[in-house]
Amino acid sequence: MAVLIAIANGCLILTVVVLSAYAIRHYWFTLYRLTLRHPRDFMEVVGFVTPRISVLVPMHNEEKVAADVLQALIECDYDWNKLEILAINDRSEDRTGEIIDEFAAKHSIVKAIHRSEGAGGKGAALLEATSQATGEILMLFDADYFPGRAMLKMLVAPFCDPEVGAVMGRVIPHNTGASVLSALLGLERAAGYQIGQQARFNLGVTPQFGGTVGGVRASALRAVGGWNAESLTEDTDLTFRLVVNGWKVAYVNRAECYEEAPESWQVRRTQIGRWATGHTDCLHRFWPALLGTRHLSPAQKIDALFVLACYWTAPTLVLGWIASLFLFFTPAAHQVPLFAVALAFVGYQLFGNQATFFELGSAALLDGNSRRVYLMPLNLLNFFASTGAICSALLRYYARRISGSQGPGWHKTRRYRAKGNGNLFRNGAASLFIQGANGLYTRNVEAHQP
């Protein structure tokens, strides 16, 4: 019994230390972002000769959204003489290929790429498209995204710095009114980008390249070995291959692009399970290189490890819960007054849990959308669902590592939009988005009302 009590105490201490470290990090980033008066961006860059860019849009069974993203890119204000759009039909079984061919026939800047053989998945599609791209900068958009007319110029601006290897914009769900889950994910995305990404960029640590609403310098991509088609999270993989080789990653908070967030818990479970598996695999592959690189400061290395190990917090928390229950119901473990133990536990819970709520609420405040704070109590639903999905995914991941079996393949997130016709961006009552004078799109309130 004494051995079990010692193990439980060790697990509990580990949980408190790990989660407290993450909580402090959340508090620090949030307080820093709230007091930040001049977020770093490149909107005032002048004299920068815009480079030739290739926009890569991988698609697998995307007939519902293909026309909308292609129409939005065609209507961008980037010089067509320096632009090509590579629409990649990755073994689709619906009308995706036909839609791409229709756009390619009408618009000279659209090039259709049809894949029928080889490995599947986004990484493999990007690998093939990159070999045909002619741009100095490769821009990436997932098929369900809504890039505004000014988006490409915003994302290309940071590449005026020759040390920048990749750039990331901001992702905002447009379907937050579809379900409780999509509303909660809108709040989560706001915290991740408005707080986390912007704070990391301004503090000089590494914002993460997300593989969409962003770009990568072609020469930097070649220098680090290209896309990793075997990774479930090719974006995380590329982020850390870039930084350990001395390249910088920039973040543009103003480059807001709308996406479809999962509307059902099962779709969310599959999505976050894939992220947890791919992210953790990157942790195992990159931590030695991160610690050994001469291109990062100690603070940058520590934060990079925090980013890569973030999904470990879920099983660590569950381990702490189990240890707490065991110690609570074991009389021999009560060597201090129960009141003192309860007080310490409640104090920790208030400190640790409030870090997330503080970040979520602050993001809503910075976005000027105070009504979102009413969602925060419901975030417990997302918290418990995500914890279970992550623990399940990591359990399978480590079981495969031990047994040496092959991991799961890439899985496309479900789309909810009705079939698009390229008119989502036409100003009018029926359009989901209305274009402003600054070239950006905002949600059309009338169109989003039921």
For the cut 90, the answer to whether the pLDDT of residue 338 exceeds it is no
Over residues 402-449, the pLDDT tens digits come to 988 776 665 666 666 665 555 554 444 344 555 444 444 455 544 444
* Closest to 212 in 3D by CA, of 408, 69, 40, 83: 69
Q: 296 pLDDT band (50/70/90 cuts)?
A: very high
pLDDT for the residue numbered 450: 38
The band of 40, judged by pLDDT with boundaries at 50, 70 and 90, is confident
Residue 40, number of CB atoms within 10 A of its CB: 15
For residue 438, the model assigns a pLDDT of 42
Percent of the chain with pLDDT over 90: 57
What is the pLDDT, as a whole number, of residue 44?
63
Question: Any idea how long the chain is?
Answer: 450
- Residue 207 confidence class, pLDDT cut points 50, 70, 90: very high
Q: Per DSSP, what are the bridge partners of residue 58?
A: 88
pLDDT of residue 283: 96
For residue 97, pLDDT over 70 is answered with yes
Q: Report whether 233 contacts 279 (CB < 8 A).
A: yes
How large is the average pLDDT for residues 192-214?
93
All residues at 6 or more sequence positions from 316 whose CB lies less than 8 Å from its CB, including other chains: 14, 15, 18, 19
User: First-to-last CA distance in the chain?
Assistant: 60
pLDDT range class, residue 342, cuts 50, 70, 90 = low
Q: What is the mean pLDDT of the chain?
A: 85
> Alpha carbon of 394 to those of 7, 39, 364: distances in Å?
22, 36, 31
Average pLDDT over residues 264-293: 94
pLDDT of residue 339: 54
For helices 265-292 and 180-190, the axis angle rounded to 10 degrees is: 20
> Do 433 and 258 meet the contact criterion of CB atoms below 8 Å apart?
yes
Q: How far apart are CA 109 and CA 154, in angstroms?
A: 20
Sequence-ordered list of residues with C-beta below 8 angstroms from that of 386, at least 6 positions apart, any chain = 268, 272, 314
Provide the total of helices (H) and of strands (E) in the chain, helices listed first.
Answer: 15, 9
Average pLDDT over residues 334-338: 60
Q: What's the fold here for domain 41-309?
A: Spore Coat Polysaccharide Biosynthesis Protein SpsA; Chain A (3.90.550)
Domain ranges of the chain: 2-33+311-403, 41-309, 420-448
